[in-house]
Amino acid sequence: MCATRTQDVRRTLDQIQLLARAGTQIVRIAVDSIRDVEALKTFAGQVEVPLSVDLQESYRLAEAVAPWVAKIRYNPGHLHHHERSRPWQDKVRWLAEIADRYDCALRVGVNCGSIDPAIAEKFPAGETVGPMVALATMHAEFLESIGFHRYCVSLKDSSPERVIEANFAFARQMPHVPLHLGLTEAGLPPEGVWKTRRALMPLLAQGIGETIRVSLTVPADRKHEEVLAAQEMLRDVASGNLEFGPGERLPGLDIISCPSCSRVENERFVDLAEQVRQMTRYAADVPLTIAVMGCRVNGPGETDHADLGLWCGPNFVNLKRGSTLIGRFSYEEILPRLKEELDRLIAERTNSERSRIGQ
């Protein structure tokens, strides 16, 4: 996926070519506005690799983008934000009609951080696998009920175990539906590569997965590393090597961070993720999760499940503890503030462990 701003046509074209040279077979672009569509039109005809567009909350732009791309990804967890009184079935039927008219495929892109609230409320708070599978199945069955079959499904989570569980569960229920596999917010390499291998290799080894994506928190000019990591993983699975890599033992502290895309609100995001990794090394053995996210589209939802979460705005970073917002801090203030919260959390856990064992 391109990490450049879609309206920055020169950089986006360079990014697509970088990925194509590395051997990617499809490139995803984020589109959130009609200006993004105008930019897309200027370069869509100049690239040889098929383009896919990620619409997130902007599904109403489907008609404008469809003539220019091979695939449209919609997020079923984001359909409820607009035209609230319109049933989701109407929206999906419209998307399928557009896809049919312009000879596009659809991806039903389900993500752990943006489950449709109407589905989430049927499951215990915090559970992600059950709601993801239910949402994906509901949309796949609906598409088939209206005679639309040119689609694939993805179920992405930031936990390798949950990616495996969700994809196996969906594949058992709807084995004929192509799956796009990915671990969301895998984070910085090399840990992000190890985590992705841990999530995807068991599925690929069982013949599950038609397309894959490796999502790494790297700057735009290193995005081809995602393609190279994916290729190596496919080669290893084909040769029967299912080792995750030198990171078989993952550290106790899990830093999950998004790969960034054109929506990233401040380019300091990638550096911030790296600084968080450096600053928290002293707590590497503590089993906690810190999420670092690049924007408001997925940041608020996908930090809810982490012990501590940061999501970036243009000039500030939101700091959360679980689903509670602690405050907004400047890029200069955020690291010491995060350290304070991390130390507090470690002390609380240590005290509660001491009381549990009666010390």
How long a stretch of residues is the chain?
Answer: 359
Q: What minimum distance in Å lies between the beta carbon of 224 and ligand SF4? A: 17
Provide the minimum distance between the beta carbon of 32 and ligand SF4 in the complex, in angstroms, as a whole number.
9
By CB neighbour count within 10 A (0-12 exposed, 13-18 middle, 19+ buried), where does 187 fall?
buried
In the complex, least distance from residue 263 CB atom to ligand SF4, rounded to whole angstroms: 4
- Pick 18 or 138: Cβ nearer ligand SF4: 18
Strand runs labelled E in the chain: 27-30, 51-54, 71-74, 105-111, 151-156, 180-182, 211-213, 254-257, 289-293, 308-312, 317-321, 324-329
Q: Which residues, 6 or more positions from 273, have their beta carbon under 8 angstroms from its beta carbon?
A: 187, 188, 217, 255, 257, 292
The smaller minimum CB distance to ligand SF4, of residues 19 and 204, is found at 19
CA angle 126-129-133, nearest 5°?
Answer: 130
Contacting residues for 185 by C-beta, under 8 A, at least 6 apart: 158, 215, 256, 257, 258, 259, 291, 293, 302
Closer to ligand SF4 by CB, 137 or 257: give it: 257
Q: Measure the CA–CA gap between 186 and 169, rounded to whole angstroms.
A: 21
C-beta of 268 vs 349, nearer to ligand SF4: 268
Q: Which residues bind ligand SF4 (CB under 6 A)?
A: 258-261, 263-264, 293-295, 297-299
Nearer to ligand SF4, 209 or 299 (CB): 299
Which CB atom, from 162 or from 204, has the smaller least distance to ligand SF4?
162
Smallest gap, in angstroms, from Cβ of residue 222 to ligand SF4? 15
Report the amino acid identity of residue 89.
Q
Q: How far is the CB of 158 from ligand SF4 (least distance, A)?
A: 11
Could you tell me the smallest distance in angstroms from the CB atom of residue 349 to ligand SF4?
Answer: 28
Phi-psi region of 210 (alpha: psi -120 to 50; beta: other; left: phi over 0): alpha
